Amino acid sequence: MREKSLAGLICIGLMLLAAAANAASVTVPAAASLAPLPALSPQPREALVDQAIAGILERYHYNKAPLDKALSEQIFFHYLQNLDPNRSYFLQSDIDSFTPYSDSLGDAIRNGNLHPAFAIYNVYQQRVQQRIQYALGLLSKEPDFDVKESYAFDRSKAPWATSVSQLNDLWRQRVKNDALGLLLAGKSWKQTVEILRKRYQNIEYRARQIAPADVFDLFMNSYTLSLDPHTNYFSPDQSQEFQIQMSLKLQGIGAALISEGEYTRVDRVIPGGPAARSKQLHPDDRITGVAQGDQGGMVDVVGWRLDDVVQLIRGPKGSVVRLQILPAGAPPGSPEKVLRLVRDTVKLEAQAAHKNVISVTRAKHSYKIGVITIPAFYSDFAGRMEGEANYTSTTRDVRKLLLELEAEHVDGVVIDLRNNGGGALDEATKLTGLFIPHGPVVQIRHRDGRVDVLDDDDSGIVYRGPLAVLVNRFTASASEIFAAAIQDYHRGLIIGSDTYGKGSVQTLFDLNRIVPGNQDAGQLKLTVDKFYRVNGASTQRKGVTPDITLPSNIDPQEFGEETQDDALPWDQIAAVDYSPLHLGIAAMLPKLDKLHSERTAHSPAWALYLDGLRLLAQERAEKSVPLLLTARAAQRSDRDRERLALANGWRKLKGLPPAANLEAAYKLAESGADKAHDTTEQDTGADDAAALVPDVLLQETARIAADMAALGVGNLPPAPASP
């Protein structure tokens, strides 16, 4: 499980919003002083906020966890992991010296005593400075790259170093690995030294900028995350960022960034933003450099504060920003790619449901399959309350799209919920009603044990034909409720991979309501309820298991509720009274699965897709990299050769000639002949790689929907004729 830093936990800079200041105003000193870092101490008001948070969580959080010894130990664990996730700074002797705090942090929090948290942090500050001094000293001499050794870059589960000499050796390997990656990228040793000197000084500079409020935020979120992954404390500044994010009045690249160790990592890409439209930026990518315009120099941002990186990426609408990316799963020192993005306003219409039609030929018969993509469950609550006739609504939009598809005489419909993280619960309930008769859709269990049932209160059915719902690991929350209801009612097939498993409900609490004084105290987001399917099973942790599973490029060991520390458990309550539909889907599922398996076994595109997953799995499996120059160069060469073979495989399927190198392999837009073979519009900002590689999962789901149509499976009886 990936350990997230404070900024990651509270999602500072969630959307890379409108340019509040010019990116050029962000300045990190070229040579930060290594004078001793000052000790930090808590501010008096923070004790009041601390006690308010404790009181609210003990009284209102879903799991009713008291601040006892067990929870204290969890807070202690999270705090250390948030400070030093890769175990690169603390010594075992430090951990031993902190141990007396481990079972008393709960009492300290309840009493407003923050001194233990600050005592631990001040030791951490010292260790950071010592490590940076050591790393900078290593740059005086070029390492010996002819020594056969390796660098274990993932130390999240490793034991703490037991001596300074052991820690020194870990950092010697780290510096060597950082240098090796730059040298293989074409940098000279002199250039490498300059880049790494600035990088390591940035880490020290970032530590020097930490204020008592930052330590308080970190410690409070170590407490909240010990209850569940979705309970967070928002400081006043973070509350403002959160409110801007919720307003969706955004300008920038449209990505949620978090800080993870010394990297700025992409948490998610916002539908409708420049990053989403480009299809070039992906969750788990790490941003290592930022450049302004097409000619600006690349600024190395490893070790920077998240808010400084965000400030550098922000800028006026229409301006260009270039990001240097270490791709998801790639070890440190791997080849990086540069992405060019044009800053823009997040387009709300791009977040709306939209449709297209896929033609599938089966036994000389052509089937038309309508596809409705729903990026999120949205609703204009204010417009609805004010009685607006055409307020924005997922259900209203999908109803309109279904009627349009019916007019086009489609033979089946696919609802694409991939990467849909949820949204308005009411919309998920109403959307279900477009496909089923009147009945319950979801149960909500409250902290006190009360259970509410949300029903589809409209007996009308908009679409009665074969239905498939395509999901993946990033299908979460309200999306899972819709998919679960469709599955429980046997109304359609769920296709794809196991969903995320977020089966909890959060609410925001304004701390200013109970903390005295004129200063802003921030907000608390806490978990208060859980979702349950109509069959009584929770969607928490387990999510929704597809009827037909498709292989995914999302690692379930890295993403999903069950990978999160202290996630609420799965459980079950009584089922509600509902009537599954008898449309032949369950009886014909073995036949449909067999047709799918036989088809993909002989599909060249499917084989190439699996080859891509195999390469990705190989990279993810690596926990160390060679520090021998010849071995690293050979590893990189082998990987590039495999990637080129894969890209040329896709080119062959498109009727394109093979490319000589990776850069040329994906440049479809430069050739008129390439455009003739490519059905993706080139003026939308779509990445050439996305244009080259088809959406094989969506295509196969459409084929399964065509199988349903051919077999006469999944059709509701016609609506009764009007008198």
DSSP calls for 17-57: -S-SS-GGG----SS---SPPPP----HHHHHHHHHHHHHH
- Chain position carrying tokens 């599954």: 580
pLDDT of residue 406: 96
227's tokens: 């209850």
Reply yes or no on whether 477 is catalytic: yes
pLDDT of residue 243: 52
State yes or no: pLDDT of 269 exceeds 90: no
Q: For 122-158, b where at least 16 C-beta lie within 10 A, e where not — what string?
A: bbbbbbbbbbbebbbebbeeebebeeeeebebebeee
State yes or no: pLDDT of 30 exceeds 60: no
For 9, 117, 156, 420, the CA distances from 3, given in Å and listed in that order, are 10, 19, 8, 23
Average pLDDT over residues 212-218: 94
C-alpha span between 495 and 697 (Å, rounded): 9
Q: What is the DSSP string of 483-543?
A: HHHHHHTT-SEEEES------EEEEEEEGGGTS-SSS---EEEEEEEEEE-TTSBB-TTT-
Q: Is the dihedral of CA 108, 111, 117, 122 positive or negative?
A: negative
DSSP state of 179: H
Average pLDDT over residues 659-666: 86
pLDDT of residue 93: 97
Strand bridging mode 467-471 / 412-416: parallel
CA 39-43-46 angle, 5° bins: 130
285's tokens: 């990518």
Decide if 471 contacts 445 (C-beta within 8 A): no
High-pLDDT (> 90) share of the chain, %: 67
pLDDT of residue 250: 43
Strand bridging mode 493-496 / 548-549: parallel
For 65, 224, 616, 618, the CA distances from 642, given in Å and listed in that order, are 51, 44, 11, 12
Phi/psi region, residue 329 (left: phi>0; alpha: psi -120 to 50; beta: rest), is: left
Name beta bridge partners: 103.
Answer: none
**Catalytic, out of 397, 488, 529, 707:** 488
DSSP state of 152: E
State yes or no: pLDDT of 683 exceeds 70: no
pLDDT of residue 107: 95
Which residue type occupies 181? Answer: G
pLDDT of residue 236: 82
At 664 the three-state DSSP class reads helix
Of the candidates 327, 354, 349, 330, the residue with the CA atom closest to the CA atom of residue 338 = 327
Global pTM value: 0.87
Decide if 544 contacts 561 (C-beta within 8 A): no
pLDDT of residue 382: 66
DSSP state of 683: G
| H/E stretch holding 121 | helix 115-138
**Catalytic, out of 222, 502, 547, 688:** 502
Average pLDDT over residues 133-156: 95
Q: Point out the least confidently predicted range of 213-222, 343-352, 407-416, 679-688.
A: 679-688
C-alpha span between 515 and 524 (Å, rounded): 12
**Cβ count within 10 A of residue 648:** 17
CA 697-702-707 angle, 5° bins: 125
Q: Grade residue 364 by pLDDT with cuts at 50, 70 and 90.
A: confident
State yes or no: pLDDT of 270 exceeds 50: yes
At 668 the three-state DSSP class reads coil
Name beta bridge partners: 266.
Answer: 257
Q: Grade residue 26 by pLDDT with cuts at 50, 70 and 90.
A: very low
State yes or no: pLDDT of 254 exceeds 70: yes
Which tens digit of pLDDT belongs to each residue from 78-94?
Answer: 999 999 999 999 999 99
Decide if 391 contacts 340 (C-beta within 8 A): no
At 2 the three-state DSSP class reads coil
161's tokens: 């170093």
Average pLDDT over residues 68-76: 96
| H/E stretch holding 687 | none
List phi, psi (to 5°) of 376.
-160, 160
340's tokens: 């060019």
State yes or no: pLDDT of 20 exceeds 50: no
Decide if 114 contacts 188 (C-beta within 8 A): no
Of the candidates 276, 274, 256, the residue with the CA atom closest to the CA atom of residue 266 = 256
pLDDT of residue 206: 84
474's tokens: 């990033």
Q: Is the dihedral of CA 409, 414, 415, 416 positive or negative?
A: negative
**Catalytic, out of 477, 497, 538, 552:** 477
C-alpha span between 143 and 494 (Å, rounded): 54
Decide if 413 contacts 465 (C-beta within 8 A): yes
Q: Point out the least confidently predicted range of 193-202, 296-305, 573-582.
A: 296-305
Residue 315: HSE in the Cβ half-sphere, 13 Å Cα cutoff: 21
Of the candidates 85, 559, 646, the residue with the CA atom closest to the CA atom of residue 282 = 559
672 vs 443 pLDDT, higher one: 443
State yes or no: pLDDT of 127 exceeds 70: yes
C-alpha span between 671 and 655 (Å, rounded): 13
Which residue type occupies 40? Answer: L
Of the candidates 266, 506, 246, the residue with the CA atom closest to the CA atom of residue 376 = 246
pLDDT of residue 672: 38
State yes or no: pLDDT of 519 exceeds 70: yes
**Cβ count within 10 A of residue 364:** 5
Tell me whether residue 409 is exposed, middle or buried, using C-beta atoms within 10 angstroms of its C-beta: 0 to 12, 13 to 18, 19 or more. exposed
Domains of the chain: 25-229 (no CATH), 239-344 (2.30.42.10), 604-700 (no CATH)
- Chain position carrying tokens 């050979």: 634
C-alpha span between 473 and 544 (Å, rounded): 10
Average pLDDT over residues 242-259: 62
For 28, 127, 378, 470, the CA distances from 425, given in Å and listed in that order, are 44, 46, 9, 19
Of the candidates 540, 538, 508, 541, the residue with the CA atom closest to the CA atom of residue 526 = 508
Where are the extended beta strands (E) located within 272-334? Answer: 286-292, 299-300, 320-326
CA 606-607-609 angle, 5° bins: 65
C-alpha span between 576 and 578 (Å, rounded): 6
Average pLDDT over residues 626-633: 95
Average pLDDT over residues 390-405: 92
pLDDT of residue 231: 97
Reply yes or no on whether 317 is catalytic: no
State yes or no: pLDDT of 675 exceeds 90: no
Which residue type occupies 454? Answer: L
Decide if 518 contacts 498 (C-beta within 8 A): no
Reply yes or no on whether 502 is catalytic: yes
If you average pLDDT over every residue of the chain, what do you get? 87
User: What is the distance between the terminal CA atoms of the chain, rounded to a whole angstrom?
Assistant: 60
C-alpha span between 662 and 659 (Å, rounded): 7
Q: Which of 117-121, 283-287, 295-299 has the highest mean pLDDT?
A: 117-121
Which tens digit of pLDDT belongs to each residue from 571-622?
Answer: 999 999 999 998 999 999 999 999 999 999 999 999 999 999 999 898 888 8
pLDDT of residue 348: 60
